[in-house]
Amino acid sequence: MSFLFSHAHVRAHNGTPREPIFATHLLEASFVGEAIKGVVVAAPVGAAYGAAKAWWFNFPMGQGLGLMGSNAGVFGCLTGIYLGTSVFSAQIRGKDDIWNAPIAGFVSGAVVGMRAGSLKKIVFYSSAASAVSLWGQFFVNEYRNNFHKSRFFKKQDAPPMFAGNPRDQYKDRWAAIQAREAAAGEAADDEE
């Protein structure tokens, strides 16, 4: 589904895997359901960020709780908008490809820009979030398709590590030197 939550799974008591938390294919998912799941998963992350920020800057408890609540709302809202838009754009376009992430990033960035309050910030945040989403989705696809296959499985047709060069570049010269020495040795034997 998304590069953030595609491998989050719940296991049963006996250890067998259950259905993944988030849909594995965007075209089969409900965009409302995925948005709600995104809010539920990201809101505690935002609350934890708010708590860490309140602890670090030593805010009073009332301000810290307010900061936790506002960060939980922002993180949850933006993640829900991102995931819902990603699924919605995949279903509208009929394709589950790399371009769903920048579309979702554009919409999420526009929401952040609207919260900031000016047209410049809307344009900046939407384009920046779109670029970051495209970059992240590209590298996640590269990792998913290439990294685990090429790094951990030895290729069967690979040559041994220190086999050497199959063609000896000095073989012909060495044969000429040996032939010349043999001819010189035979000439010396003939003279004796």
What the block records as the tokens of 110 is: 């526009």
Contact 106, 32 (CB under 8 A): no
pLDDT < 50: residue spans in the chain: 1-9
- pLDDT reported for residue 44: 96
- pLDDT reported for residue 189: 77
Secondary structure (DSSP) of 19-52? EESS-SSGGGS-HHHHHHHHHHHHHHHHHHHHHH
- pLDDT reported for residue 37: 92
pLDDT in tens, 112-167: 999 888 999 999 999 999 999 999 998 887 777 766 555 555 555 555 555 555 66
Contact 133, 165 (CB under 8 A): no
- pLDDT reported for residue 3: 43
Burial 129-153 (b: 16+ CB within 10 A, else e): bbeebbebbeebeeeeeeeeeeeee
